[in-house]
Amino acid sequence: MVMRILIMNGPNLQALGRREVAIYGEKTWEDIASELKREADGLGVDLDFFQSNSEGALIDRIWQAAAEKIDGLLINPGGLTHTSVALLDALRGAALPAVEVHLSNISNREEYRQKSLTAAGCIGVVAGFRDASYLLALRGLAGYLKRK
Catalogue the active-site residues. 24, 102
Q: Which strands sit side by side in the sheet containing 72-76, from one edge to the other?
A: 45-51, 3-9, 72-76, 98-102, 124-127
Per DSSP bridges, beta strands 3-9 and 72-76 are: parallel
- For residue 98, give every residue at least 6 positions away whose Cβ sits within 8 Å of its Cβ, in sequence order, or none: 72, 73, 74, 75, 91, 121, 122, 123
Question: How many other CB atoms sit within 10 Å of the CB of residue 110?
Answer: 8
Cβ contact 115:82 at 8 Å: yes
Residues 45, 85: Cα–Cα separation, whole Å: 30
